[in-house]
């Protein structure tokens, strides 16, 4: 069995629930700015640190 198939099987067993609170804290911690648009959610670096 290839490594790719092994990894895919393991990944399929992980509970990939969305944790919005964690995501927002990471975006802020890394100094990024989150913007919503009609195309979806985009993350941009903010050199001024205004996350």
Domain-embedded: residue 50: no
Let me know: does 4 contact 13? Beta carbons within 8 Å. Answer: no
Residue 7: give the domain boundaries.
3-45
What are 35-46's pLDDT values in tens digits? 665 566 666 666
Residue 3: pLDDT over 80: yes
What are 7-48's pLDDT values in tens digits? 888 888 877 777 777 777 777 787 776 666 556 666 666 666
> In the prediction, which pLDDT does 24 show?
76
What is the C-alpha to C-alpha distance for residues 22 and 28, in angstroms, rounded to an integer? 10
Count of structural domains, the chain: 1
Residue whose tokens read 């992980």: 14
- pTM comes to 0.34
Tell me, letter by letter, the H, E, C secondary structure of the chain.
CCHHHHHHHHHHHCCCCCCHHHHHHHHHHCCEEEEEECCEEEEEECCCCCC
Domain-embedded: residue 51: no
């Amino acid at each position: 069995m290839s490594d790719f198939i092994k990894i895919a099987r393991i990944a399929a067993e992980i509970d990939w629930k969305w944790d919005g609170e964690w995501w927002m804290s990471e975006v802020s911690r890394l100094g990024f700015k989150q913007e919503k648009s009609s195309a979806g959610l985009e993350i941009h670096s903010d050199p001024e640190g205004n996350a």
